[in-house]
Chains A and B, each alone.
Chain A
Amino acid sequence: MTDHAQFAELLALYAVGALEANEASDLEAHLRTCVECRDELTALRGDAALLALSAVGPAPPQRVRQRLMAAIENEPRKQPISPRFVLGTFRPRWLSFAPIAAALLLAIFSLLLWRVDARLQRRLDQTQAELEKTQSQLHSAEELVALLHSPDSMHLTLVSTRERPVPQAHAVYSPKMGRLFLMASHLEPLPKDKAYELWLLPMNGGAPMPCGTFWPNEKGDAMMYHPLSEAGVEAKGFAITVEPEGGSSAPTSVIQMISSG
């Protein structure tokens, strides 16, 4: 019997997943070069699918659908304009206020447009809950613009305490509004169970206040807009540590980045 004929005999076993691992890889090597076997396998997998269908019974609980859609919400967006592009627009030195404000406004508008574009792609018959969610996100964006323009807003740059590479972050904080906006780049990637956490260092020398957790994307960039639990806290500066992914109420590790001046 030819090799081909021998492999052809194994296709049904492969289709139901009954081959040993080494037999499967030998067959896979053959499949790469044999169209006839690939076609037969496609058909046999169809038969295996029929077998699978015989198992269908009670419907799954609704909670799985909800969990799935929530997980999808949290996935990185599939969008042409990415936040990384936005950050790339204004990476240069933070020397004076005006170019920073202009660059940040560009980031804000890009963000708004990106969000608006995503909305337009959805189906027109959105539910009221989705509409309300959109309105609250736009409200947050409006607050963000107000934060940038607020006369008492501090604009700080945080730099890495290490030599190289150079993680960098820019924080905008308004004590009056109790709102904080952070943009970071060149962050080191983190293991799955950890997150970066931002801390406000109070002027009065009190304990560092938690200011939100964030994760870098695959480019090492991150953005965060965080409402603080109380307004009116004067800040001496800000710092970033690595914490467990749910965040901590007090820093549990060394400072990775800290504001200067």
Chain B
Amino acid sequence: MRLSGTQAPNNETDPALIERIRAGDETAMADLYDRYAGIVYGVALRVLGDAGAAEDVLQEVFLQLWRNPQAFDANRGKLPAWLAVIARNRAIDHLRKRPMENDIEEAPVASAVDLENEAAQRLAIEKIRGALGHLPQEQRKCLEMAFFQGMTHTEIAAKTGEPLGTIKTRIRAGLLALRKAVL
């Protein structure tokens, strides 16, 4: 499973690359793309189920990062995790035919897993898939509906016939179980 482009790997840290991007260095942008395009594309494709649309979201996410690199605060979170969440949100906007926000949201995203190179990403993804496989099915379904299909908890409750409180509990429990599994 090839996760990123064919360029030679760059050993700079994410914060160092972001600094260079802030200074207008396009090659730093290319390096960052090679490192994380696979993640952004994968999430967008999963949400949208359409390669062309996923490519549009991929381009949009990185272009916004180029225009607005200060939106990401390297001291408060991890870039690949942040990109993954941004990718999901942009893809859901696309899915719901909402205009994509022009400002990348600034809230940080923590990450317990190392994702800065291809090998680390592969390892993390295997662990996560394993953890998901072990989740109770109802938790997994709720997470899937909320995160990849963009449904609100009200919509999930209506679709499954379960009470709102149950949906809330399942999603929270599912997330915490994922967190524990990759520690």
Q: Do A and B bind each other?
A: yes
Partner-B contacts on A (CB < 8 A): 9-10, 12-13, 15-20, 41-65, 67-69, 71-73, 75, 77-79, 118, 121-123
Q: How far is the CA of A49 from the CA of B59 in the complex (A)?
A: 19
Q: How far is the CA of A30 from the CA of B92 in the complex (A)?
A: 25
A57 B45 Cβ-Cβ under 8 A: yes
Determine which of A18, A20, A45 lies in contact with B146 in the assembled complex, contact meaning CB atoms within 8 Å: A18
Within 8 Å CB of B89, what residues of A? 17
B144 to chain A, nearest CB (A): 8
A49 B171 Cβ-Cβ under 8 A: no
Q: Which of B6-61 contact A (CB under 8 A)?
A: 6, 22-27, 29-30, 33-34, 37-39, 41-43, 45-47, 51, 54-55, 58-59
Q: A-B pairs with the 7 shortest C-beta distances?
A: A56-B42, A78-B24, A55-B46, A46-B110, A49-B81, A52-B84, A12-B172
A59 to chain B, nearest CB (A): 4
Determine which of A44, A51, A59 lies in contact with B41 in the assembled complex, contact meaning CB atoms within 8 Å: A59
Q: How far is the CA of A41 from the CA of B107 in the complex (A)?
A: 9
Across the interface, name the chain A residue whose C-beta is closest to B147.
A16
A51 B147 Cβ-Cβ under 8 A: yes
Within 8 Å CB of B128, what residues of A? 50-51, 53-54
Q: How far is the CA of A164 from the CA of B53 in the complex (A)?
A: 45
A55 B154 Cβ-Cβ under 8 A: no
Q: Does B153 contact A (CB under 8 A)?
A: yes
Determine which of B41, B111, B146 lies in contact with A16 in the assembled complex, contact meaning CB atoms within 8 Å: B146
Contact (A56, B178) CB under 8 Å given A18-B151, A65-B30, A71-B63: no
A67 B30 Cβ-Cβ under 8 A: no
Residues 59-72 of B, flagged 1 when their CB comes within 8 A of A and 0 if not, give 10011001100000
Residue in A20, A52, A65, A121 whose Cβ sees the most chain B Cβ within 10 Å: A52
Across the interface, name the chain A residue whose C-beta is closest to B76.
A42
B74 to chain A, nearest CB (A): 14
